Amino acid sequence: MRLSEVFSDHQFAISIEIFPPKTAAGDEVLRRHLTQLVEHQPAFVSCTFGAGGSTRDRTMQWCRDIQNELERTAVAHLTCVGSTREELIELLAEADQAGIRNIMALRGDAPQGQETFEAVDGGLRYANELVELIREHRPDWGIGVAGYPEKHAEAPSMAADLENLKRKVDAGADAVVTQLFFANDCYLRFRDDCQAVGISIPIVPGIMPITDYARIQRITSMCGSSFPDDLAERLAAVQNDKQAQFEIGVEHAIAQCEQLKAAGVPGIHFYALNKSDACQQILNALGK
């Protein structure tokens, strides 16, 4: 199934994002958790692509397993980092051979040790160029792109960030998946702003359940997502109690998802962090 088909029937679609583990033991743990998650019938499972293609083979293998063993649509992430145009075309050919027909097209973050992203000689500078490349060589594939309800960290303004997103959409994207957020007002305002600039494809909210306060603080500091004061206070009060953090995080995510579903979102994309417990509780609460 292509991404354009996932959202074409206007049904509420859930999706899951994983990353390739670094060890065989990690593979086994992820396989167990993912087997539980696919029981909730996600429309697709996406797999991230390490910086500079560091997980290239692992990403492709996991996408093959998702489709062949777990029988769910796989979406492979692809970035511009460290690859020439020709190398990206080769990666598309590899994905084609693996039976993958959907790509999450991202510029990617600057490699470790670099302050800003710089394209390699012969490479691409922006995600919209990657979308154009995919459309040129695989015109019938599904393409997802990233959106930032609270602005990409490198964008000079929200208006400029929306212009960048519009370029990706105009290049041929089928759906926008947002960066994680913890206040629904951020998403709803972003959705309205997207519509105002002529973006009409689905804007899918990305939700990351909080299971460890310290970890989520590190993640939000890197991606620039804000954190509601009342939620931060509740979590800080139980910072030495992992189970309490988990319960507060799941409770908050359930409330977020219920409100978003009531607001008519096309679906919800869960950043599962390769675990299933939190997402399962949320999906059960949503009746999925």
Q: Point out the residues that are catalytic.
A: 17
d(CA 94, CA 214): 38
d(CA 147, CA 222): 16
Angle between helices 277-285 and 24-37 (to 10 degrees): 10
d(CA 91, CA 161): 28
d(CA 131, CA 105): 6
d(CA 179, CA 276): 20
d(CA 57, CA 97): 13
User: Do the beta carbons of residue 205 and residue 182 sit within 8 Å?
Assistant: no
**Which phi and psi angles does 166 have, rounded to 5°?**
-60, -35
The length of the chain in residues reads 288
Burial class (CB in 10 A: 0-12, 13-18, 19+), 191: buried
Q: Which residue in this structure is represented by tokens 């510029």? A: 107
d(CA 246, CA 213): 9
**Which phi and psi angles does 103 have, rounded to 5°?**
-130, 140
